[in-house]
Amino acid sequence: MVEVKVVKHCHVCPPPGSVPTTHVPLSFLDMFWITLPPARRFFFYNFPHSTQHFMDTVFPTLQQSLSLTLQRFFPLAGNLILPPQPDQKPYILYTSNGDRDCQPQLIAAIAESSDENKRDYFDILVTDYPRTRDAKEFYPLVPDLPKSRLLPDGGRAFALLAIQITLFPNRGLCICVTFHHGVVDGMAAHHFIKSWAAASATISASAMVWSLPYHDRKTVKHPNGLNIQYSISWGELFPIMDKSVKDLAPLNTTRATFVLTKTQIQKLKASVTSSSLRVSGFIVTCSLIWKCMIKSSIITQENHDDDEIFYLLFVGDCRNRLKEPLPPTYFGNCLDICIVELKKKELLKDDSIDGVVEAIGNKVKELEKEPLKMVEKWFLEWKRCDETKRLVTVAGSPKLKVYDTNFGWGRPCKSEVLHVDNSKGISLQESRDEEGGIEVSLGLAKTRMDRFISIWEHSLKLFCS
């Protein structure tokens, strides 16, 4: 594992006096995500400059632009407050009292390899399949959120944002953003990150954001006017949020990124013959990856139940789908959870993806027609599917446009999320090299990854030749 030496550590907050003390209530859509570990997103950039150049000319700009950006996205500079009584609702508190523990962490680190091949190490991290990478090599690049704090009234305060910038001298750098999913979803988080990048590239308050965030969470309403309440055990939450990411680094797990080109996606769509649904690139990509994931999990054909049910979970943005639509700049969680159920025999078919496409497509259609239909059952349904050990979750989306995140050094040469290392998750994003292509990242045990690659290559020949 690469050695990382921290050379600078600082706390960043909005400019003094620019944001008053503010309480932000959580919506019922935020509450579901409180129980999940923080989200972590990597952005790798080519940066052929020295450590001294970075510290003297780049880091001060990143620090100043982050402060300006947090002025507009102030909830991330606050804390998630869990009241002492479970029946009291959590909320976000931003305070300008200068408490260093309440301010986001910005860390500058220098990557130092134990050998002389530092450039090779960076190149390995940003590569795509056919090369696989040891999953644990990403973990030194990830910042932890500060530990939660016990408040005088017995409540608990959780920090919401941490950023680490790891420099690979004369080759590149990595910006890793850790954020609390209970406060923002992927669209909101990337709105913040892109705004910070724009501010860094211009250092101009007028050009700081593409568009201003919309903070009024009281406008988030259930389509049928229901008042959704979730029962959450705070005691179970603390260990999840406070555990160091270094303790989570997996053993014997490899990561790889598989790219479907625009042409391959068009051929996948053309191979679907029985569906009357609108077949998107997202649907056919998820269908193919899910089939390959399930096939790679099966070592022997003995004693298999063809009617065994497998599950795929993905999320859909609801901002423009609600009866009272929210602006695209809404800064919070506004996701619906969709769970696809399919029998093993359909997933194991070699000559067709039609059944898988139909199942996923129907869930997309339900999302578009009646969003949040099952919101009050989210906890129970996710738990039920997860306990079967046959659930695969999809993170990210090509619509997030992660490769548009430009801090002034050009587009990222690679972007990934951390949490796909447990064989239960995959992540999707747009291709960095071609409009209309899709990248899929996943992590599997070495032997299973070898099986997956073989199955993937066979599937591409079958459906995309």
DSSP codes of every residue in 309-368: EEEEEEEEE-TTTSSSPPPTTB-S--EEEEEEEEEHHHHT-SS--HHHHHHHHHHHHHHH
HSE (side-chain half, CA atoms, 13 Å) at 80: 30
Say if residue 387 is exposed, middle or buried (CB neighbours under 10 Å; 0-12, 13-18, 19+): exposed
At 88 the pLDDT is 81
Low-confidence residues of the chain: pLDDT under 50? 115, 204-206
If one counts every other C-beta atom within 10 angstroms of the C-beta of residue 201, the result is: 15
293's CB contacts (< 8 A; 6+ apart) are 392, 426, 442, 452
* pTM higher than 0.75: yes
- For 82-132, how does the pLDDT look when each residue is reduced to its tens digit (9 = 90+)? 888 767 888 999 988 766 666 788 888 887 655 455 568 899 999 998 888
d(CA 275, CA 162): 45
Q: For 380-395, what is each residue's pLDDT tens digit?
A: 899 899 999 999 999 9
What per-residue confidence (pLDDT) applies to 92? 94
Distance CA 275, CA 353 (A): 10
Give the residue from 355, 220, 350, 185 showing the smallest Cα distance to 283.
355
Residue type, 385: C
Angle ∠(227,232,237) on CA atoms, nearest 5: 140
Tokens of 254: 């490899």
